Structure 1
Amino acid sequence: MTGSPSRRGAGGAWAALAVLIATAQPARPAETALGVARFDLPAAFEDWTRREMSDGLLFQRVYEPSGPRGRKGLAILLVAKPKPASGAFDTAFTQFVRGIKQVPAEGKPLTAKAGETLDGHPIRIEQRCCRSSDGLRMNAWFVGIAAGGSEHYLMLLTLQLERETEKPVREAFERLVQTYRASKDDRGLALAPRAGDGGMDGLYARTETRLMPNAFGGMDFIADQETLLFDKSGLYTTEMPRDGDMAGHCRTEVTTCGIYALKGGWLSANRIDRVEVENQFGLAKRSSEAFARTKDGIKIGDRRYATMPPFAEGHRFSGTWSHTFGSSGPTGAVGGTRTLTLSPDGRFTRESSTGFSSTGGSIDGGTTVAGHSRRPLQSGRYAVSGFRITLSDEAGGTESLSLFAPDRDTDKLLVIGGANYLKQAK
C-alpha cells in the first residue's frame, strides 16, 4: 500500500513509522467517510496525528515512557480505502497482513477468526505478536471485510507499548470496527431487531456442570447457571443488565447479547433463530434450533431451561447464604467462602475469607508458602426488586447484583451476582 507501513519501504521501524506529519490534523469523534464506507472515529484517537493518503487514512501516536525504565512506544491505525472485490477475499486478506513490513509473516497468528458480520458480510480477524521484524515488541490486529463488490481492510499496530497503555488503544480500535459500515445499508455492530423478531419475555435458566483445568495442575468441578433473559422486542442476553435496561445493556455489553425470532407462530413455535455477537470486532454467530414450550419453561435444541419468576418489590429474606470456591492441584491450592446474611427487617451483613498454599519449589512436595485473608464485616440495608438485590452499606457505598432462585418455591439456592449461594442450616 503506497505510503503505508509496508514491506516496500526500506529502513527501520522508527524511520518508517515514527515520523510526525507536519500537516497532521486532530481526528474528530464523528462519522468519517472513506469511499463507500463510513465509520465513527472514537474520541481516543482525537490527539493522534492523521495523514490522508492515496490508499487510505493513517493515524499514529508516539507514547512517552511512563517511568524511568520505560521505553518510547508507538501506535499506528490504518483504515484502507475500499478496494474492488478481488474474487479471492481470503488470499487478498493474507496479502494485506503480509504487506506490513514490521509484522513477520512466518508462524501462526495468535488468534484467527472468520465468519460474518451482523450485516451478513464475510469478515476475517487476525492478531499477531510478539516481535517485529526489527526486533521491537509488537502487537498487530488485522480486520478484513468483503461487502458485495468491495473489500475493506483495517489494522492496528503497536510497538513497544506498555500494557496499561495498549489496552485502551485496542478497545478504541474495536469500537471503530464495530461502527464500520461497508455499504450504505449497513448498520454496523448494532443489535436492532426487525419486524417479526421477538415474542418472549422473562428469565430462563439451567444448571451446567463441567470439569476445567486449573493453574495448579488439577481439575475443578464447575456448576454454573446458564441464563437467557428474553425481551419481547427480540433482544436477549446471557447476563443480567445492571439497571434493567436491556437495550442499553446490549449497546455496551454487546458480546453478551443477541437477537432471536420464533418460527411457527407465537404459541406453537417449533424453531428459534438466533444471531449473537461472538467477539468485540463484530463476528456474528447464527443458529436455528428446535424450540418447544414445556410445563415449567422452554426447550432449545436438547437443552431445557426453567422459568425464573422475579421477586416482588420489597421481598424479604431470612437466613444466611454461603458461596464456597476453590482450586487445588499438585502445586498448590486456593479457596474461600463468602457469606451473606439477610434479615426480615431489611438488613444485611456479609463477609469473606480466602486462603492459599503453594508447593512450588519444594523438593519433597510440602507446603512452602501459605496465606489467609479476611474481608472486614460489612453491613447495611438491602432492597429487592425483580431480578436484582441492592446492598447499601453503612459507609455510603451501594452495590447492585443480579438475583434469582433456580429452584421454584424455595430459597435454598440463590444465584447472586452470577455465583451460587447455598442457604445454611439453622
Structure 2
Amino acid sequence: MTGAPARRRAASACAALALLLATAPPARPAEIALGGARFDLPAAFEDWTRREANDGLLFQRVYEPTGPRGRKGMAILLVAKPRPASGPFDAAFTGFVRGIKQVPSEGKPLTAKAGETLDGHPIRIEQRCCRSSDGLRMGAWFVGIAAGGSEHYLMLLTLQLEREAEKPVREAFQALVRSYRPMRDDRGFVLAPKSGDGGMEGLYARTETRLMPNAFGGMDFIADQATLLFDKSGLYTTELPRDGDIARHCRTAVASCGTYALKGGWLSAKSIDRVEVENAFGLTKRSSETFARTGDGIKIGDTTYATMPPFAEGHRFSGTWSHTFGSSGPTGAVGGARTLSLAPDGRFTREGSTGFSSTGGVIDGGTTVAGHSRRPVQSGRYAVSGFRITLTDEAGGTESLSLFAPDRDSDKLLVIDGANYLKQGR
C-alpha cells in the first residue's frame, strides 16, 4: 500500500494514541523528568516530534520510503506518566497492553519476559505483532516497571517501518528503558561492581552441543564454546571483547555482561553470587551457586569450565583454518565456508563462499532457486595478543577479532570471533 490511502490508514491507526497528548514541544534536556521518574533520551529520538500533556510524553516520526517500492512508515514512542499502583502488577500490566486498542492483544506475544531491573524493581516486557485492524504491518514493544507503590509504562509502536530503520529505533528504545529511573535514589543501568566484588581473572570455556530447528523445516546440530571471561574488578562477560576492554564492551553489549562476587575469596571460595543481564532492556537475574576450583578450571553449580590460556604477544601460527556452516530441510538449504590462512612470517589470507537453494513447493517439488556467492580474497598482516587477533589488509584497514584455542596443547581448533575454525590437514 502506497500513496494517500496508506497514509490515511496509518494516521487512523495512530489517531487514538496521538490524541492522548498534545501541545508544542519544549526544549529537550539529556535527562527528562516525568512525574518523579527520570530517563535519558537517546539521540535517535531527538529529532522526533514531541507532544506532552498530563498523561505523559509521546514522540513520533514519519519515515519516507527509501526505494521505489518502499512504503511510508511511522514510529511512536510513549512514556506514560507514573500512576499509583492499581493492584497486582501482572494484572495491571496486562490491562495497560489491552488498553492500546490499535495493537492486537489477544493470543500469545512473540516475546514475554519478567524479572528485575538493576535497581531491583519488577519489570515486564512483551513484544507483539503483526497486523493492525486496518491491515497494516505493525510491531509493538510494551514495558512495565513497578516501584515504590507506583506503575510505570513505556511503549514503542512501529507501522510499516522498513527493517533498516526498525533496528536502530528498537535499540534506542532499549537504551531508554535501561536508563529509566522510577525512584529518586535509582541509578538506572549502571553495571558497576560493588565493594568486595571480583577477585578472579581469566577466560574459562566449555563445549556445548544442541539441536535447533531451522528456517527450512529441518534441524541443525550446533556445537558452540560457552565462555566466561572474568575481570578482577567484578565484571564478567559471556562474549570476548574484540578490543580486549571488558568495561567498554559491557557498556554496549549489555546482554552479555554481569557482575560477580566470590564468597570467601579466590583461594577458599565456596559460592559465587552473580547479577546477569538477560537482555538489552536491562532485565537482570540474580543467582547464588556453589563454586570450586578444579585442576584446570572452575566449577559453577554443576557446570565445569576449563581454563583458556591467552596467547603470547606476537604469537605466530602456521596453517589454514576453516569454518563451515549450513542448514537444510524440506524447503531448501544454505551453506558455506570461510577460510583463514596464517603464516609464520605474520601474513594472512582470508576468503569465503556461500551457496543456497530454495524449493517453492514441498509436496510436488515446486520451483527450485539456487545461487552462490564468493567473498573476495583478502590478504595482509596479522598480530596476536592475548585473546585477540588483529588483521590489517593491504589497504591499511584493520579488524580486531576475539581468539582462543579450546585445547591448550593444540591449535587444531581455533575459536575466532565466536566461530569454530578447524585446521586443515595435519
TM-score (norm 1): 0.90
**Maintained 8 Å contact 1:97/1:105:** yes
Residue 271 of structure 1, CA deviation: 1.1
Query: Which stretch shows the higher mean deviation, 103-112 or 225-234?
Result: 103-112
Query: Which stretch shows the higher mean deviation, 162-171 or 148-157?
Result: 162-171
Query: Which stretch shows the higher mean deviation, 385-394 or 86-95?
Result: 86-95
Q: Which residue of 1 aligns with 2:141?
A: 141
Secondary structure of 1:118's match? coil
Q: Which residue of 2 aligns with 1:278?
A: 278
Secondary structure of 1:203's match? strand
Q: Which residue of 2 aligns with 1:183?
A: 183
Taking the TM superposition and a 5 Å limit, the aligned residue runs for 1:165-180 are 165-180=165-180
Residue 21 of structure 1, CA deviation: 8.7
1:395 equivalent in alignment to 2:419: no
> Alpha-carbon deviations, 1:107-149, whole Å to 9, x = none?
3322221111111111111122222344433222211111122
Q: Determine the C-alpha separation between the residues in 1 that align with 2:69 and 2:314.
A: 55
Q: Determine the C-alpha separation between the residues in 1 that align with 2:259 and 2:311.
A: 26
Q: Determine the C-alpha separation between the residues in 1 that align with 2:361 and 2:49.
A: 50
Secondary structure of 2:216's match? coil
**Maintained 8 Å contact 2:21/2:56:** no
**Maintained 8 Å contact 2:60/2:77:** yes
Q: Which residue of 2 aligns with 1:328?
A: 328
Secondary structure of 1:267's match? helix
Secondary structure of 1:109's match? coil
**Maintained 8 Å contact 1:27/1:46:** no
Q: Which residue of 2 aligns with 1:289?
A: 289
| Structure 1 residues 266 and 359, CA gap change in structure 2 (3 angstroms) | same
Q: Determine the C-alpha separation between the residues in 1 that align with 2:22 and 2:169.
A: 23
Q: Structure 1 regions of 5+ residues with no counterpart?
A: 1-10
> Alpha-carbon deviations, 1:40-74, whole Å to 9, x = none?
01111112222221121222223334445544433
Q: Which residue of 2 aligns with 1:209?
A: 209
Residue 419 of structure 1, CA deviation: 1.3
1:51 equivalent in alignment to 2:51: yes
Total equivalences in the alignment: 416
Structure 2 residue identity aligned to 1:230: F
Q: Which residue of 2 aligns with 1:349?
A: 349
Residue 362 of structure 1, CA deviation: 7.7
| Structure 1 residues 79 and 373, CA gap change in structure 2 (3 angstroms) | closer
| Structure 1 residues 327 and 100, CA gap change in structure 2 (3 angstroms) | closer
Residue 234 of structure 1, CA deviation: 0.7
Q: Which residue of 1 aligns with 2:376?
A: 376
| Structure 1 residues 258 and 138, CA gap change in structure 2 (3 angstroms) | same
Secondary structure of 1:266's match? helix
| Structure 1 residues 297 and 36, CA gap change in structure 2 (3 angstroms) | same
**Maintained 8 Å contact 1:359/1:365:** yes
Q: Which residue of 1 aligns with 2:96?
A: 96
**Maintained 8 Å contact 1:65/1:73:** yes
**Maintained 8 Å contact 1:260/1:274:** yes
Q: Determine the C-alpha separation between the residues in 2 that align with 1:176 and 1:219.
A: 37
Q: Which residue of 1 aligns with 2:424?
A: 424
| Structure 1 residues 372 and 44, CA gap change in structure 2 (3 angstroms) | closer
| Structure 1 residues 303 and 371, CA gap change in structure 2 (3 angstroms) | same
**Maintained 8 Å contact 2:22/2:51:** no
**Maintained 8 Å contact 1:337/1:354:** yes
> Alpha-carbon deviations, 1:368-407, whole Å to 9, x = none?
4444333332211110001001111113221111111111
Query: Which stretch shows the higher mean deviation, 131-140 or 222-231?
Result: 131-140
Taking the TM superposition and a 5 Å limit, the aligned residue runs for 1:98-113 are 98-113=98-113
Taking the TM superposition and a 5 Å limit, the aligned residue runs for 1:353-368 are 353-361=353-361, 368=368
Q: Determine the C-alpha separation between the residues in 1 that align with 2:21 and 2:300.
A: 56
TM-score (norm 2): 0.90
Query: Which stretch shows the higher mean deviation, 44-53 or 223-232?
Result: 44-53
| Structure 1 residues 371 and 95, CA gap change in structure 2 (3 angstroms) | closer
| Structure 1 residues 163 and 114, CA gap change in structure 2 (3 angstroms) | same
Structure 1 residue identity aligned to 2:404: F
Secondary structure of 2:267's match? coil
Residue 364 of structure 1, CA deviation: 6.9
Query: Which stretch shows the higher mean deviation, 56-65 or 236-245?
Result: 56-65
Q: Which residue of 2 aligns with 1:77?
A: 77
Structure 2 residue identity aligned to 1:128: R
**Maintained 8 Å contact 1:296/1:307:** yes
Residue 310 of structure 1, CA deviation: 0.7
Query: Which stretch shows the higher mean deviation, 324-333 or 307-316?
Result: 324-333
**Maintained 8 Å contact 1:26/1:48:** no
Q: Determine the C-alpha separation between the residues in 2 that align with 1:425 and 1:103.
A: 57
Q: Which residue of 2 aligns with 1:115?
A: 115
Q: Which residue of 2 aligns with 1:8?
A: none
Q: Which residue of 2 aligns with 1:7?
A: none
| Structure 1 residues 341 and 19, CA gap change in structure 2 (3 angstroms) | same
When the two chains are superposed, the root-mean-square deviation of aligned CA atoms in Å is: 2.4
Query: Which stretch shows the higher mean deviation, 373-382 or 343-352?
Result: 373-382
Q: Which residue of 2 aligns with 1:319?
A: 319
Structure 2 residue identity aligned to 1:84: P
Secondary structure of 1:101's match? coil
Q: Which residue of 2 aligns with 1:196?
A: 196
> Alpha-carbon deviations, 1:61-114, whole Å to 9, x = none?
233344455444332222122122234212221221222231233333222211
Q: Which residue of 1 aligns with 2:4?
A: none
Q: Which residue of 2 aligns with 1:24?
A: 24
| Structure 1 residues 333 and 286, CA gap change in structure 2 (3 angstroms) | same
Quote the sequence identity (%). Answer: 86
Q: Which residue of 2 aligns with 1:131?
A: 131
Residue 296 of structure 1, CA deviation: 0.3
Structure 1 residue identity aligned to 2:86: S
Q: Which residue of 2 aligns with 1:5?
A: none
Structure 1 residue identity aligned to 2:355: G
Residue 326 of structure 1, CA deviation: 2.3
Q: Which residue of 2 aligns with 1:4?
A: none
Q: Determine the C-alpha separation between the residues in 1 that align with 2:41 and 2:84.
A: 23
Q: Determine the C-alpha separation between the residues in 2 that align with 1:136 and 1:423.
A: 50
Query: Which stretch shows the higher mean deviation, 350-359 or 205-214?
Result: 350-359
